[in-house]
Structure 1
Amino acid sequence: MNAVVAYLDVAATTRVEPRVADVVLRWMTEDFGNAGSRTHEYGARAKKGVHEAREFIARTVGAKTEELIFTSGATESNNIALLGLAAHGEKTGRRHIITSAIEHKAVIEPLLHLQEKGFEVDFLKPGPSGRISKESVLEKLRDDTLLVSLMHVNNETGVIQPVAELANVLRKTSTFLHVDAAQGYGKVPDDLKAPIDLISISGHKIGAPKGVGALVVRRRGWDKVPLEPIMFGGGQERKLRPGTLPVPHIMGLFEAAKIFQEGQPRWERAAREMRERLLTALGKTRFHINGDAEHAVPHILNVTFDGLNAEALIVRLKNQVAIATGSACTSASYTPSHVLMAMGLPEDVATNGLRFSWFPGQVADFGPEELAETIAHMQPEAS
């Protein structure tokens, strides 16, 4: 890849921070013990490291150490949270679930599986703002509602959902709240300290390696969320997630979370400055923002350019910037975005939405003015 290409696709994945890479390497080559080995010092050091990581990451969301389990990422965490509650729903006759039509496929597809098993799932649509209102969720709430699953930050538009407000209301009911926080963890930290029952975390969105994440399973007083495992083969991770713990990856997530927590205020300011630079530069083009910019994270911007095909634009810009049409799981198909379609946007807008997402320190040489110039030259004359 050309070294001058600016990477503006951090919503898909981030570069591993050099400090994180050093930590991962150390736990691969020096302190390489199995955290489950109890008979020697290598295992003891690994176990101690994992405990410290668990304690810190749980604390970042206001949870207790024992309320966090490590997983391979947010997709696995989502599956454990959603499918793991199914048996309880069947036993209690609570088979109703509320979610949104703008969720990541890692939530939609497990819920479609539950729908096939007899669960009733309401997929709420947000309207053009891209934001599900608390009131629209509560209007659908019933006595047999087992779960509300609502993402923290939308991966395509960057719009922040009202998960903290919902948590404070649902905590007074028997309905559990699950939040896919893959995009929001670390970036909007206070929201996740609300009394959310289940939180899915992804490491590779904050500079950790791919293949590690976590699931917070928060107690309600003395009561545990009645999850059952969906995989079997060992007692690791509170008997909810079997398998040898990937200690190097966990320690990488630990280090990345520390770095992000330390630098979050600076990161947010710089991300907002980059957003303003980009929007100012794009002022010479004809575009509109998809989603409510007043309730969005500072580092994700979804736009559609009048008269331009997204696929052609990505190809034209490939030597300047790395960008995407939306979710990395579906963008290769160039079909209309299910998120933008659910917002009620026209099909040509939903097909041609482009997502810019950045970490300021990783695009220091990026010049949005040059990018805007290229786009402006491609646009047809306004009619």
Structure 2
Amino acid sequence: MSAVVTYLDVAATTRVDPRVADVVHHWMTEDFGNAGSRTHEFGARAKKAVQEARTFLAGTVGAKTEEVIFTSGATESNNIALLGMAPHGEKSGRKHIITSAIEHKAVIEPLLHLRDARGFEVDFLEPGPSGRVSKEAVMERVRPDTLLVSLMHVNNETGVIQPVAELAEELRQTPTFLHVDAAQGYGKVAQDLKAPIDLISISGHKIGAPKGVGALVTRRRGWDKVPLEPIMFGGGQERKLRPGTLAVPLIMGLYEAARIFQENRSQWESDARHMRERLLAALEKTRFQINGDADQSVPHILNVTFVGLNAEALIVRIKDQVAVATGSACTSASYTPSHVLTAMGLPHDVATNGLRFSWFPGQVADFDPEGLAETIAHMQPGAA
């Protein structure tokens, strides 16, 4: 009989909630109409459902219905936000962008493209050992020609929460726009995203929705729209910013997942924190350090380095107990040090061997942290 492996990698992706799967199945097999079809009831029902989903998602971040556009996920949302702002920067002569060195590649790579191919100046701020970029450090870099600040909500490797709400209030008094990649924070740190953030990228598969769906919130400043231009063309759907037939089943899955998360967030947070306490208590029998400010982190992501242990070898050793990761799933094929931990100024051996545990509390009921800790402790140098 094979061992039961506990999945502790929800920062990479989550299992689709069965209730969400039922909703997706319904909109794939029964109400399967194209939301753009105007000549029959099938299309009308799909269009009405999408609008209901749009209104709900807008409400979760304090936005207006028309300020939400649906995308294939946070990567596409990030690209629309960053590349879509570039023409305005070029026309206005504001070609300076501020970001952090710990962003996801879905932000870093579009910004490198703007720098290398279109002459933008990009400041990559390093957060220091806490893993948190300070509001003051960002504001010190803002200049008259600063077009945009792009700062993630929750770091995908350390779980550290960035000061996006405070930054939004400051930048709202300037011409500089704020983009927030909220892939890891949406649904979990709800109040932050109700701050006046201009652009918010959302991912469905981090909250129990299917892969391949997300959203971009484009919040107005008074009557003024965010000056985005499309990066794709063909059909004019989603305010001409994101063409293509709307994936109604996936959108409705995102809607259902967001609804479930909103209804249960307080309990989810409490249970996730309890799981964190259990895991940390068990790990006391090992020698480890937490990477990032534990007091400024979401409760369900924990990045640690175990003294004297190679992370890749450790993952192989514990693969029959838990499924964990060394960092972002998008770069997991690489054995180079984590760019996040490196940017935090951590020593090479720490940055190379960071291990990320991430969980949803309802899915780890049978997890044995004591057993995991025993395995790790026995592997460490000097163990009996």
Specify if TM > 0.5. Answer: yes
Structure 1 contact 152–160 (Cα < 8 Å) conserved: yes
**What amino acid maps onto 2:323 in structure 1?**
A
Residue 362 (str. 1) matches residue 363 (str. 2): yes
Deviations 1:261-282 (CA, angstroms, capped at 9, x unpaired): 0000000000000000000000
State how 1:308-319 maps to structure 2 within 5 Å: 308-319=309-320
Q: TM-score when scaled to structure 1?
A: 0.99
**What amino acid maps onto 1:33 in structure 2?**
G
Q: Quote the Cα distance in structure 1 between the aligned partners of 2:34 and 2:351.
A: 47
Aligned length: 382
Q: Quote the Cα distance in structure 1 between the aligned partners of 2:61 and 2:323.
A: 31
Structure 2 contact 88–227 (Cα < 8 Å) conserved: yes
Counterpart residue number, 1:58: 58
State how 1:155-170 maps to structure 2 within 5 Å: 155-170=156-171
Structure 2 contact 115–121 (Cα < 8 Å) conserved: yes
Structure 2 contact 158–292 (Cα < 8 Å) conserved: yes
Q: Quote the Cα distance in structure 1 between the aligned partners of 2:89 and 2:264.
A: 41
Q: Quote the Cα distance in structure 1 between the aligned partners of 2:128 and 2:2.
A: 39
Counterpart residue number, 2:148: 147
Structure 1 contact 7–358 (Cα < 8 Å) conserved: yes
Structure 1 contact 301–356 (Cα < 8 Å) conserved: yes
Counterpart residue number, 2:25: 25
Q: Quote the Cα distance in structure 1 between the aligned partners of 2:54 and 2:79.
A: 20
State how 1:63-74 maps to structure 2 within 5 Å: 63-74=63-74
Q: Quote the Cα distance in structure 2 between the aligned partners of 1:2 and 1:202.
A: 33
Counterpart residue number, 1:182: 183
Counterpart residue number, 2:6: 6
Residue 131 (str. 1) matches residue 132 (str. 2): yes
State how 1:274-313 maps to structure 2 within 5 Å: 274-313=275-314
Counterpart residue number, 1:94: 94
Structure 1 contact 236–244 (Cα < 8 Å) conserved: yes
**What amino acid maps onto 2:21 in structure 1?**
A
Counterpart residue number, 2:329: 328
**What amino acid maps onto 1:293 in structure 2?**
A
Question: 3-state SS of the aligned residue for 1:233?
Answer: coil
Question: 3-state SS of the aligned residue for 1:303?
Answer: strand
Task: Give the drift of 1:3.
Answer: 6.2
Question: 3-state SS of the aligned residue for 1:34?
Answer: coil
Counterpart residue number, 1:81: 81
Counterpart residue number, 2:376: 375
Residue 49 (str. 1) matches residue 49 (str. 2): yes
Question: 3-state SS of the aligned residue for 1:341?
Answer: helix
Counterpart residue number, 2:123: 122
Structure 2 contact 300–360 (Cα < 8 Å) conserved: yes
Deviations 1:8-35 (CA, angstroms, capped at 9, x unpaired): 0000000000000000000000000000
Counterpart residue number, 2:105: 105
Task: Give the drift of 1:381.
Answer: 1.3
Structure 2 contact 3–321 (Cα < 8 Å) conserved: no
Q: Quote the Cα distance in structure 2 between the aligned partners of 1:331 and 1:348.
A: 17
4+ aligned runs moved over 6 Å, structure 1: none
Structure 2 contact 291–354 (Cα < 8 Å) conserved: yes
Counterpart residue number, 2:201: 200
Structure 1 contact 157–290 (Cα < 8 Å) conserved: yes
**What amino acid maps onto 1:214 in structure 2?**
A
Task: Give the drift of 1:248.
Answer: 0.2
| Unaligned 5+ runs, structure 2 | none
Q: TM-score when scaled to structure 2?
A: 0.99
Task: Give the drift of 1:332.
Answer: 1.8
Q: Quote the Cα distance in structure 1 between the aligned partners of 2:24 and 2:79.
A: 26
| Unaligned 5+ runs, structure 1 | none
CA-atom RMSD in angstroms: 0.9
Question: 3-state SS of the aligned residue for 2:42?
Answer: helix
Task: Give the drift of 1:353.
Answer: 0.1
Task: Give the drift of 1:234.
Answer: 1.0
Counterpart residue number, 1:16: 16
Question: 3-state SS of the aligned residue for 1:23?
Answer: helix
Structure 1 contact 57–257 (Cα < 8 Å) conserved: yes
Q: Quote the Cα distance in structure 2 between the aligned partners of 1:107 and 1:343.
A: 18
Structure 2 contact 3–320 (Cα < 8 Å) conserved: no
**What amino acid maps onto 1:334 in structure 2?**
Y
Structure 1 contact 180–200 (Cα < 8 Å) conserved: yes
Task: Give the drift of 1:204.
Answer: 0.2
Structure 1 contact 325–334 (Cα < 8 Å) conserved: no
